[in-house]
Amino acid sequence: MSKAGRSDSWGFPRWRGYEGAREAATIRLCDRHGCADSGTCPAPKSPNSPERWMFCQRHAAEYNSGWDYFEGLDKEEAAQREAEETRDNSGYKEAAHYGWGGSGDGSRSRDEMRALELLELTADVDFDEVKKSYRAKAKLVHPDVRPGDEDAAKAFQALQLAYEVLRAAEERREWKG
């Protein structure tokens, strides 16, 4: 004997969404002129001010791209503020991905990136270019070309190590792929 008009919002959990009420839901619009998206991202109107703009994600990203936290401070004041904030937050470990120095797409390790930097190459280079660059640079500092030059010997060893790192990485990629 159930009633036909029984509500499904009884009990716990609510079976209907909270926005399913008959009242209109209040939605804040983006503060950017002409934007009709909802403004869910707060952005400060000025440094050290509690007042906030409310932007959509697209306009918040645009606004924050030009934001300079240290604007108006001289070099000593900026260093002091950074030191204070680092000290205050020293109990929290910085997330590893913020300090990561990869190629951008995650395809190369940090060692590979250092090796490419030594060979003066970009992260998206293929292995044939790595060989060419290694051979050209190795010819300049090879111990047979510059006998007795310790700096050249160290540079040659560094080039050899960089090439070996990149060669091993290329072999792993071929083996996986």
Domain ranges of the chain: 25-65, 110-176
Q: Are 39 and 55 in contact (CB under 8 A)?
A: yes
Distance CA 143, CA 154 (A): 10
Distance CA 127, CA 169 (A): 10
Residue type, 128: D
Pairing of strands 41-44, 52-55: antiparallel
User: Residue 138 above 90 pLDDT?
Assistant: yes
Q: Are 137 and 163 in contact (CB under 8 A)?
A: no
pLDDT of residue 177: 62
> Could you tell me where the beta strands, DSSP code E, fall in the chain?
41-44, 52-55
Write down the CATH number for the domain with range 110-176: 1.10.287.110
User: Residue 91 above 50 pLDDT?
Assistant: yes
Confidence class of residue 166 from pLDDT cuts 50, 70 and 90? Answer: very high
Tokens of 146: 């510059």
User: Residue 62 above 50 pLDDT?
Assistant: yes
Higher pLDDT: 3 or 71? It is 71
pLDDT of residue 101: 47
Confidence class of residue 159 from pLDDT cuts 50, 70 and 90? Answer: very high
Residue 106 vs residues 26, 84, 113, 144: alpha-carbon distances, Å: 42, 33, 11, 38
Confidence class of residue 14 from pLDDT cuts 50, 70 and 90? Answer: low
